[in-house]
Amino acid sequence: MSKEPTGGLTINWGYPLDTGMNFDAYVVFRGGSPTVPFIAIDTIWNYSAQSYTDVAPLNGANYYYMRSLGGCGYTSVTSDTIRLMELSVTPIPPTNSSVAQLDWNAPYSGATPTYEIWRRPQGTGATGWAQVATTTNKTYNDTVNICGQDLEYQIRINGACNSTLDGGFFSDQNNTDVLKIDSVTVNGGTALISWTPGTNGDIVNYDILEWVPGTGWNSIATVPNTVSMPYPLPGATPGSSVKSYKVMSTDSCGNQSSDLLVSAHNNILLTENMDPCEGIMRLRWNQYRGWAGGVKEYRVLADVTPPGGPTQVGVLLATKAPGDTAFNTRDLIGGWSYCYYIKAVDTAGARFSSSNEVCINSLAVQRSRLLYMAKTSVRSDNAVELVAFIDRDADIIHFDLQRADRDGAPFTSLGLIPKPVTGPWEIRFKDFSADPNNHRYLYRFVATDSCGGIDTASNIGTNILLEVEPVDNLTNILTWNPYRDFMGGVLKYDIYRSVGENGSMVFVGTTTDTIYTDNIRPLGDNVGIFCYKVVATEGPSPLMFTDYDGSVFTSTSNVVCAEHNPRVFIPNSFNPNSDVLENRTWRPKQVYVESGTYSLEIFDRWGNKVFTTSDEMKGWDGTIDGTKAAEGSYIYQLNYRSKQGEPVDLRGTLLLIY
């Protein structure tokens, strides 16, 4: 049903179902209310007709229904009852209206169609209509975004079934945009802002606001609605200050959106404090504010450039919690360049804000990556030789050589050794104050950095203290402490021996233990002093360090000697006529007698000397001046010095028998 421009009301219908009976006519009924009796106002005899115009409708509401007539006086059931959709437009507020409140009735009882809201500027004719919305309700508020104009409205169903027209004068008085800032970020030293475009259809431009303490929000830029984002923030100094920003829109009528509903966003200002002596970079930054869900995390990133490049971009150093705005690091290498920045991430992981960059050329004190005591060895002059390898790139002033006299004893300084200025990058030192025959020393090097602090200490180096114990069965038992600390461990211990204090050292055996038994019986009966040394050999070294001559490192112990006391066998009798040649003379059998000190005298029972000699290999044959001595007891007096120079005096009796 629709209203004609002349005021008539037109109803439309479809063909009735074919009942098999003759069609006579359509009858149109009208009433002023659904509850009053309806009156037939016209009869239509044409079956093909599908519309009828009531050219003189009632004042007020008009309700219609129809019936069809057939043969034999048949009358159909009543159709549905319809009425004209009458639209009422109420301007809100009554003056300077910016909202049109539309109210209308349903076209028939129980109807729930989708209603179309159409609007046109008054006087524009049929071509001026434009659909602005749809609804299933019978009321609608249209917020006008036109700057002062008479508007007409109409309700339609499926583009037809038009309501009555109504309208009024409306002017856009409000901008309801609530703008949402995506981020304030820094790129290449420039502060940038991005926001989601407003939903108001006639936005002309945007105003960017900056908070000024003591003043409030000031506009710093007005940009068109076609602006490309992110937009550079004019006058921003993101490397030295933190500022907060908002955005509001202006529509074609000059209405501005409210900044009170916009969340302010601020830039992140990163600052640094570099302590080269401690080797610590301290980073601090302010919290990022503005995202509805807040910050999920802060990522600490750096672009790292070694001397000569290339640059490693975006190296992630740490991820910090939302409330944690500090980061300390010692991972600095002297001469490398570092550009640090912070990236805030929102809780959805979809928005980011980067801080300004803080770039440094690292002046951090370079710590020692190597300080290795490779050798502690006793020299032939009893000085202890030390060899250590150092890090050529470390910022070291000197090395403090320290020594402890035994395990558990405090270390004392032997002196400061300056860091070498040229290669080879090693320290060789000889400790002439050492007493390696009586002490097992512990040595270490302690490095002092260019700030005067302790850099690092080397591993411990110990000399090998060798001890030897002579045993009566003509063996010597050697014991020594394990050598420490070869990087490759101890592969073996080689044992060397000299006969006599001035003899040449010869190899006698090897072991992986720290005890060794040396059998000296094959060396004869005329030697009493045996000297030894032990040489430890390093196993395969992970860093393949070698001594100055290219050989593997060794450590030599002190030289220690074992003295066997003189061993004398004195027969108590002899027979010059014995069948055994050796038993025909009498003499002491001795070992380890110092040459030239031997004296043997034999006396008879009356004290008469019957035999004397200084030759330890010469014995008495039982004669006196060529004549056989009388059978019986005799007295001997034996004097000599041991190999160590100690005097020996022996006196006893012997028996001469035939």
User: Dihedral of CA 325/328/331/337: which sign?
Assistant: positive
Residue 383 within a domain: yes
Q: Which of 407, 533, 432 is nearest to 480 (CA)?
A: 533
Q: Give the mean model confidence (pLDDT) for residues 586-612.
A: 87
Same domain (yes/no): 489, 543: yes
Same domain (yes/no): 575, 553: no
pLDDT of residue 616: 86
Neighbour-count burial for 395-408, b at 16+ CB within 10 Å, e otherwise: bbeebbbbbbbeee
Angle at 621 between CA 619 and CA 622, to 5 degrees: 125
pLDDT of residue 316: 97
Q: Which of 291, 454, 309 is nearest to 368 (CA)?
A: 454
pLDDT of residue 160: 79
Span 239-256, pLDDT tens digits: 999 999 999 999 888 889
Rg of the chain on CA atoms, in Å? 60
pLDDT of residue 364: 63
- Gap between the Cα atoms of 210 and 181, Å rounded: 13
Order across the sheet with 216-224: list the strands.
216-224, 203-212, 244-251, 265-266
Place of tokens 């990163």: 270
Domain boundary among 320, 342, 361: 361
Same domain (yes/no): 550, 487: yes
The model's confidence at residue 493, banded by pLDDT at 50, 70 and 90, is very high
pLDDT of residue 539: 96
Q: Is the pLDDT of residue 642 over 80?
A: no
Domain boundary among 170, 202, 236: 170
Q: Is the pLDDT of residue 573 over 70?
A: yes
Residue 222 within a domain: yes
- Gap between the Cα atoms of 265 and 301, Å rounded: 22
Same domain (yes/no): 110, 32: no
The model's confidence at residue 278, banded by pLDDT at 50, 70 and 90, is confident
Q: Is the pLDDT of residue 159 over 90?
A: no
| Mean pLDDT computed over every residue of the chain | 92
pLDDT of residue 591: 53
Span 362-371, pLDDT tens digits: 766 778 999 9
Q: Which of 602, 374, 561, 370 is nearest to 486 (CA)?
A: 374
- Gap between the Cα atoms of 363 and 563, Å rounded: 63
pLDDT of residue 563: 83
pLDDT of residue 22: 86
Classify residue 392 by burial, with Cβ atoms within 10 Å: 0-12, 13-18, 19+: middle
Q: Give the mean model confidence (pLDDT) for residues 260-286.
A: 91
Residue 566 host element (H or E): none
Same domain (yes/no): 60, 134: no
State the residue range of the domain holding 417.
371-462
pLDDT of residue 507: 97
Q: Is the pLDDT of residue 114 over 70?
A: yes
Residue 234 within a domain: yes
pLDDT of residue 149: 87
Give residues with Cβ within 8 angstroms of 630, minimum separation 6.
604, 656
Q: Is the pLDDT of residue 651 over 80?
A: yes
Residue 366 within a domain: no
The model's confidence at residue 525, banded by pLDDT at 50, 70 and 90, is low
Q: Which of 141, 156, 201, 147 is nearest to 176 (CA)?
A: 201
Span 213-237, pLDDT tens digits: 999 999 999 999 999 999 999 999 9
Same domain (yes/no): 514, 535: yes
Q: Give the mean model confidence (pLDDT) for residues 393-408.
A: 94
- Gap between the Cα atoms of 526 and 101, Å rounded: 135
Residue 552 within a domain: yes
pLDDT of residue 117: 96
Domain count, the chain: 7
Domain boundary among 151, 170, 189: 170
Percent above pLDDT 70 for the chain: 98
Task: Determine which of 8-22, 80-94, 521-535, 550-564 has the lowest per-residue pLDDT on average.
Answer: 521-535
pLDDT of residue 74: 87
Evaluate whether 24 touches 69 at the Cβ level (below 8 Å): yes
pLDDT of residue 244: 97
pLDDT of residue 443: 98
**Which tokens hold the place of 435?**
């007493």
Span 162-219, pLDDT tens digits: 888 999 998 877 888 899 999 999 999 999 999 999 887 779 999 999 999 999 999 9
Q: Is the pLDDT of residue 298 over 70?
A: yes
**Which tokens hold the place of 84?**
């004209």
Query: CA 494: distance to chain centroid?
Result: 48
The model's confidence at residue 577, banded by pLDDT at 50, 70 and 90, is very high
User: What are the Cα distances from residue 472, in Å, to 161, 468, 560, 645?
Assistant: 135, 13, 18, 20
The model's confidence at residue 50, banded by pLDDT at 50, 70 and 90, is very high
Same domain (yes/no): 312, 289: yes
Span 403-423, pLDDT tens digits: 999 999 999 999 999 999 998
Task: Determine which of 226-240, 472-486, 521-535, 607-621 has the lowest per-residue pLDDT on average.
Answer: 521-535
User: What are the Cα distances from residue 489, in Å, to 173, 263, 374, 440, 545?
Assistant: 90, 67, 11, 19, 13
- Gap between the Cα atoms of 411 and 461, Å rounded: 13
Query: CA 256: distance to chain centroid?
Result: 49
pLDDT of residue 330: 85
The model's confidence at residue 67, banded by pLDDT at 50, 70 and 90, is very high
Residue 18 within a domain: yes
Same domain (yes/no): 613, 635: yes
Report the predicted TM-score, pTM, of the whole model to 2 decimal places: 0.49
Q: Which of 444, 518, 443 is nearest to 479 (CA)?
A: 518
pLDDT of residue 593: 72
Same domain (yes/no): 307, 377: no
Residues counted in the chain: 658
pLDDT of residue 566: 65
Percent above pLDDT 90 for the chain: 71
Residue 175 within a domain: no
pLDDT of residue 334: 74
**Which tokens hold the place of 234?**
């004019």
Same domain (yes/no): 535, 581: no
Same domain (yes/no): 107, 29: no
Same domain (yes/no): 458, 470: no
- Gap between the Cα atoms of 246 and 208, Å rounded: 6
pLDDT of residue 582: 87
Classify residue 68 by burial, with Cβ atoms within 10 Å: 0-12, 13-18, 19+: buried
* Residue 381's CATH number: 2.60.40.10
Residue 42 within a domain: yes
pLDDT of residue 590: 66
